[in-house]
Every structure is written in structure tokens, then in C-alpha cells.
Structure 1
Amino acid sequence: MNLSPPDKLRVLLAKDEIIVMPCCFDPLSAKLIEQEGFPLSFMSGFTTSAARLGMPDTGLMSYGEIVDQGRNICNAVKIPVIGDGDTGYGNALNIKRTVQGFAQAGFAAIMIEDQVAPKRCGHTAGKAVVGREEAFERIRAATDARAEGSDILILARTDARHDHGLDEAIERAQRFHELGADILFIEAPRDQDEMQRICEALPGPKMANLIEGGLTPVLSPADLQEIGFSIAAYPITLMAAAMKAMIGALQELKTGKVNPDRLMPFDEVKTRIGFDAYFEAEKRYQDRK
């Protein structure tokens, strides 16, 4: 049976095992994630802003740019992809349009958060959240868009832990659940005890955001599952690895030669990008002449 992206995600969430979710930023990174057998990805706003604009994740990327990038990513893979909808790009009606646009682009779920616009990466300085009623209005608008025909899951995020403490973050997330959010995400708990409290206090699927060098401890998937998380997101890992590798190759190029051990063989590069599949498809049509 050919399931839709949201239904594929629903099936994954129904299983009693944590989903390890590397995050992508363009179609190629999404394809690599799929090729390596991961069942789910997330289009990270942090890395997508860096890859598309060469700029930080500080609300500089527009709705049109993020949907365009997301459509290309979703078209490149068969695994479900969650999209970063930031603050929804405006008021409640903007949020409804954002949810509709993400569903049309092929996303399985959209994340909507309660930060003040322009938002910030959850592990950097300068972030703040809107008041409770505005935060709840955003999730209400998102679930309304879903009820009106946009088949997409709602991942509700709060950054209230930063300025208002964990109790406020948990209370907001609880209300998000009551409003119909499918997945809950409290950004940047400071230690394992806080992560445990989140999972004990909140119902339904919960996501942990694991940034190497960030504010939240990077626990193993097994430990996260035991605590009660359903998804382990790794938003920066691929980009940080790619940037380090590219800088190393560039530094070697200054000497006129790159160590072959640093490079993926050209045949594998072509295969992973899709040349082999393209030529095979091309040959089928040529054989009919």
C-alpha cells in the first residue's frame, strides 16, 4: 500500500522504539539519510538557512524560500520529512497558510514554535517567547488548517524553558497537546533530570533535540527511549561533519593535492547522486526504439 508521508510518520510513531532522525538541509543530504537506512528526516531551519542563504538561523529565510527548499527535499526521497515552520510567518491566518503550504510541498509534519519573531536557534543567545495566548493561538491555527483538509502532523515546540523555567514550558506543551498537537518538543532542557520530567509530565510522542556542544546532554538513543522520547533529532550533525570535511579539503588544495582517503570515490559519488538510476531509466526508453 502506498502510504502518504503523514501516514508513514504515523506508522513510525506507533512503534514502540525510538526514531533516530538525522536532519537534512537540501535534497542531497536527505537522499544520503535515506540511503543509509534512516526512516525519517527533518529539514532543519538552522542548516537550511546556512545551506540556502549562507546566513544564520535568525528568521532571515522567508516562507517562500523554506517551502521551495522543502518541496525539493520531499521530492527527492520516499521517507517522511518533518519541516521547520518556525513561528508560522505571521498571525493565525499566516500560520494556516504555512501549514497548508507545507502539506502541499509533501511534508509529513510541520513544527510550529512559540518564539518571538524573528526567531533564533534554540541553543543560541537572544531568544524569547510570546505570551501564552499567542502561543496557543498559533497551535490552534495549525490544527485548524489540518482539520480543514491539510493532511499533516503538527509538531508543537516551546522555548519557554530559557526565560521562564521548565514548569512553564511543560504547561505550555500540555496545552499544545490539548489543542491537538501530535508531537511535543520542549527545546533545550539542561540535564537528564529535566528530560525525565518532560517525558513523565507530557502525553504522546515527544522529541529530543541533540546538538553536539549545545545545552542539552546528548544521550544515547537507548537512554532516550528509556526516558520516554519517541524521536531523537540530530539537527547539526551532518552539516558540522560536511563543513569540517570541506575545510580540510580546501586547506589541502592550497598545497595542490588532496589526500584520496579524504574523498568519496567518484563512482560512489555518481551512484549516490542518482546517475546510475538515471542511465538505467534512459536505457529502457532507448531499447524501445
Structure 2
Amino acid sequence: MITKAQQLRQLLAGNEVLVAPCAYDALSAKAIEAAGFKLAGTTGYGMHGSILGTPDNGLLAFNEMAAALGKMADAVDIPIMADAEGGYGNAINTIRTVREFEKAGIAGLFIEDQKLPPNCPFIKATENISIEEMIGKIKAAADTRRDENFVIVARTDAPFAEAVERANIYLEAGADMVKVIPKTKEELLAYPSQINGPIHLGLYANKGINDGLTATDAVKLGYKIITYPMSCLFAATAALMSVMNYIKEHDTDEGYPGMTLSFDEYLQFIGAEKYKELDQKYLKG
């Protein structure tokens, strides 16, 4: 039986445009799969919000993240590449992170070179650990994985010129792919020609960095995997706020004009029929 890490490697070896919207729980992962995507990412930003109700500020603990990822991986048949923050500590902590993420059924992970606790660069400026310390984390991750197909992505939040230097060093150190954070459209356009390996790129609406750029456009520029880190999170949050405001104002949910599912549509999406079949097969007493 092919593993999800092997599925991911096969996707990376192909030429199709790889789009991996980012999930924050099992339900959003199922929505990504149901829409026909072959790969999902995760968003630490979204998991902080959905689990703790906080911004992406490093408060989500390693055990909370690992438990949530296991549920997400169990919910879908497509591979998931997970946000592993800064490895949850030093290189030794990173060893445990890789082991637990593999056991959770994750196909690959991102390790970033921020100082701990990490935070979203769109919230406040980031600080980076030394290149040498990050190399230790990358080597520890690569040496630890039990499945050689498990993908190690090294993310850098450094400014452009330093990010190019770090990305190429991280690839030489054993990272399978790097992730950079363009701060301008010019940086986004320039990175692929200066980095000597596959690049993971997140696209963010209305930030002025990738406006008008599709995933296919980004792949043509030289990026390998394109993610949409906030799309599921922001759309779901807007929908929740919309229906709650409607109920508060009208004292009922009848007549709600927003997009929603019927009871039967939700049961179909969530896979209720499968459990009916299991009931018939096994519940004999």
C-alpha cells in the first residue's frame, strides 16, 4: 500500500500545478479533499485560531498540534504537509517533532528559522536563529525520518538577499524544499531564479504582493507548490459571523440568505453513508 509520503513524492515528481490550500482542522481538510485537491497544507495561524482562539503567536503547544494533525490526517486520503513552527525547540526537539508528525500520518513538514516562540510575520517583525542552528534542525529532521519519502521543507523569514543565501544553504544541508516569504511583488518574481531547488509559496489575497497572480502563474515563474494559507480560515470565520449576526438580529435562522448546507447535504459531505454500511456489517447484536 502506498503511503501518503509516497503520494506526495509522486506529486512532486510530476509536472502538474500543485495547489495545497491550508486546513486548520479535520473538517476543513475534508473540504479541501472534496473540492478535488490532491494535497493539503496546514496553517499554524488557523490552528491557533480554531483550537485556542488566538492569533499565530506561538501559544499552541506541540502536543496540541500533534493531536490535531493526527485527526486531520485520519479524515482524508490525500497527503498533508504540516506547519511544524520552529520544530518546537532546538534540533533535539525537532527530532521528536518529526517522529510524532510521521506517526500522526503527515506526509511532510515545514520547519522555520524564526526564534522561538515563532509568530506570523504579518503580525510583527520576525527574528531569525543563526544559519548554523537551522542547519542542525534540518539535519536532525532528515536523519530522523523513518520514511525517506517524508518531505522536509525549510522556511526562512529573512529579508530577500539573506533569504536567498539561507534557502540555498538549507537545500545543501538536506532540505527537500524551501519556503520563502516575499515581502513585495518584485521579490516574488525574483526568488525562483536565485534559489537552487524547489520552492514552496503561499499566496495571500489583498496584501499587494501576489494580486492578480494565479497558482498556474506562480508555477510558470518557477515555484513548485502553491498554498492558500488563509482562504479556508477567513471564509469559514466570515460565514460563522454572518449566520450568528443574522440569528441575533432576527431571532431565528429561517430565511438566512448566506450560503449554507442542508442537513442531508452535510451528512453526505461528512460521510454518514459509510458509517451506515459499517453498522450493517458489524453491529449484529
Deviates further, 195-204 or 106-115: 195-204
Q: Tell whether the 8 Å contact from 2:246 to 2:256 is kept in structure 1 after alignment.
A: no
CA-CA distance at 1:34 after TM superposition: 0.6
The answer (yes or no) to whether the contact 1:196–1:228 under 8 Å persists in 2 is no
Residue 50 of structure 2 corresponds to 51
Alignment gaps of 5+ in structure 1:
none
Secondary structure in 2 matching 1:283: helix
Matches within 5 A, 1:117-196: 117-146=116-145, 152-161=150-159, 166-191=160-185, 193-196=186-189
Give the structure-2-normalised TM-score.
0.93
Q: Percent identity?
A: 34
Q: 2:204 aligns with which of 197, 211, 214?
A: 211
Structure 2 distance, partners of 1:247, 1:38, is 27
Bigger Cα displacement from structure 2, 131-140 vs 29-38: 131-140
Unmatched segments (≥5 aa) in structure 2:
none
Q: Is the 8 A contact 1:123 1:188 kept in 2?
A: no
How many Å separate the matches in 1 of 2:111 and 2:20?
18
1:67–1:101 CA contact under 8 A, matched in 2: yes
Query: Separation in 1 of the partners of 2:5 and 2:196?
Result: 20
Contact kept, 8 Å, 1:129 with 1:160, in 2: the verdict is: yes
C-alpha offsets along residues 58-114 of structure 1, whole Å, 9 cap, x if unaligned? 110111010000011001111000111111111111111111111111110010000
Answering whether residue 68 of structure 2 is matched by residue 69 of structure 1, we say: yes
Aligned partners of 2:276 and 2:150: how far apart in 1? 35
AA matched with 1:44: T
How many angstroms does 1:215 deviate by?
6.1
> Is 1:12 equivalent to 2:11 in the alignment?
yes
- Secondary structure at the counterpart of residue 169 of structure 1: helix
Q: Distance in 1 between matches of 2:2 and 2:121?
A: 33
Write the distance in 2 (CA, Å) between the matches of 1:265 and 1:279.
19
2:273 aligned with 1:276, yes or no? yes
2:28 equivalent to 1:34: no
3-state SS of paired residue (1:144): helix
Aligned twin of 2:262: 265
Q: CA deviation at 1:134?
A: 1.5
Task: Please report how far the alpha carbon of residue 284 of structure 1 lies from its aligned counterpart in structure 2 after TM superposition.
Answer: 3.0
Tell me the SS of whatever aligns to 2:121.
Answer: coil
Q: What is the letter of the counterpart of residue 197 of structure 2?
A: G
User: 1:285 Cα shift?
Assistant: 3.4
Query: 2:225 corresponds to which residue?
Result: 231
Question: For 2:221 and 2:87, how far apart are their aligned partners in 1?
Answer: 30
User: Matched residues in 1 for 2:123 and 2:182: separation?
Assistant: 10
Q: CA deviation at 1:156?
A: 0.6
* Deviation of 1:174 (Å): 0.3
**Normalization by structure 1: what TM-score?**
0.92
Q: Give deviations 1:106-155, integer Å, cap 9, x for gaps.
A: 11001000001111113221321112212222212212213x66752101
Deviation beyond 6 Å, 4+ runs, structure 1: none
Give the conservation status (yes or no) of the 8 Å contact 1:86–1:111.
yes
Deviations, residues 137-184 of structure 1 (Å, cap 9, x unaligned) = 2212212213x66752101100002xxxx1110110001111111111
Distance 1:85 1:105 in 2: 13
Letter in 2 for 1:168: E
For 2:164 and 2:203, locate their aligned partners in 1 and report how far apart those are by CA, in whole Å. 19
